[in-house]
Amino acid sequence: MSVSAEGAATKSGARRNRGIAAVTGVTGAVLLFLGVQVKPGDASFYVFTFALAVVWVIGSLLTARSRTFGSIREGKWLRDVGWGVAGGLVLLVVFLLGAGVVARIDFLASPVEALLAHARFGALPVVTAITIVNGVTEEIFFRGALHESIGGSTNRRLIGTTIVYTLVTGASGIPLLALAAMSMGLLAGWLRQRTGALLAPIVAHLTWSLGMLYLLQPTLDIWRAL
């Protein structure tokens, strides 16, 4: 194959990957929107959220490139876990402190508490599993497949993945989730740059999301009581 033919094939593959990533993002946004409309206790919430995880995985597999699933760096996995836990805890503390403001603004607090109600009225172990599965699959897609598909400089990838992640999450209609997506996108993207792998972003995402699942509602209640 000639150099020009190889270049054309590479560009065609890149366009294909970006197209698949775009379709995956739109599909995920629709499923996320439908999922947050479900009333607490309704089993269809689990269907939408697990379907969302499946979409991220399929989208990642279809756009996968050599380093998409390079989650563990040989001999450095413990360091990556440490970076992930530290980053996730810092972001968690920031959001729990910020809950003091959210608790006093109904249009911010109400949709978040409606989402958290799925843990109270549903099966907490299942909601925990959903949180874990979606956290992992989101990182595989956004900081894995999408990161590779965007190409270009590391800053371009960081900004691009964060913008897309924020827009997709913003489809939920919950302002605090959009803010969380922007914050997590920047943190996870930075960890992806620093470590060159997905383990640190995944650990950071899970540390933050599980902490929010179990601690946000009690924190909002405490702030209101002060």
DSSP code string of 162-180: HHHHHHHHHTT--HHHHHH
Say yes or no to pLDDT of 1 above 70.
no
pLDDT category at 86 given cuts 50, 70, 90 is: very high
Q: For the chain, what is the mean pLDDT?
A: 88
Q: Locate all alpha helices (DSSP H) within 103-153, ordered by sequence.
A: 106-121, 124-140, 147-150
Say yes or no to pLDDT of 181 above 70.
yes
CA distance 32 to 143: 18
pLDDT of 74 reads 58
Q: How many CA atoms lie within 13 A of 193 on its CB side?
A: 17
Find out whether 127 and 170 touch, Cβ atoms under 8 Å: no
Residue with tokens 């929107």: 33
pLDDT of 129 reads 95
CA distance 22 to 215: 34
